Structure 1
């Protein structure tokens, strides 16, 4: 199964570690520190094309983790994951 993150970005569902609401999580210092460290490591991909609403942490074969910034809400991403629309 695959999860469509927006802007033509699709990831294997088994690589998804977590889907997070950027508005709610960005208040926490640990989350800000995590995102800043990921940005510094160069493992943040902005696939939002506009103001991001969520971030998705995924396992990656060449990095410890990769973070995708998405314009889609966490609820929308969760529903897509649960509906299994992109079964290939």
Structure 2
């Protein structure tokens, strides 16, 4: 199943490694360093400041959708698959 992460982009739920909120990224030197190190794989889907970071095997997405909303969507998809 797929989950909509913003700006007409949907990704497979099974490809998601992590969904992080903006506060976690801003307060963690390690996450900031991770984003800088993978800058070539970062895709900004937000016209305004991003609200969450979605890490997949291939890319890192800066999403305009809150991490809680993305988590709920991914849980709904998982429940529907059962």
TM > 0.5:
yes
Residues 1:54 and 2:52 are matched in the alignment: yes
Deviation of the 1:75 alpha carbon: 0.2
Q: Determine if contact 1:54/1:70 at 8 Å carries over to the other structure.
A: yes
Structure-2 residue corresponding to 1:78? 71
Q: CA RMSD in A?
A: 1.6
TM-score (structure 2 length as normaliser): 0.88
**Comparing both structures, which one devotes a greater share of its residues to helix?**
2
* Gap regions ≥5 residues in structure 2: none
- Residue 38 of structure 2: SS of its match in structure 1? helix
TM-score (structure 1 length as normaliser): 0.82
Structure-2 residue corresponding to 1:30? 30
- Residue 84 of structure 1: SS of its match in structure 2? helix
Structure scoring higher RCO (CA < 8 A, sep ≥ 6) equals: 1
* Gap regions ≥5 residues in structure 1: 61-65
List structure 1 segments (4+ residues) > 4 angstroms apart after TM superposition.
Answer: none
Rounded Cα–Cα distance in structure 2 between residues aligned with 1:44 and 1:25: 14
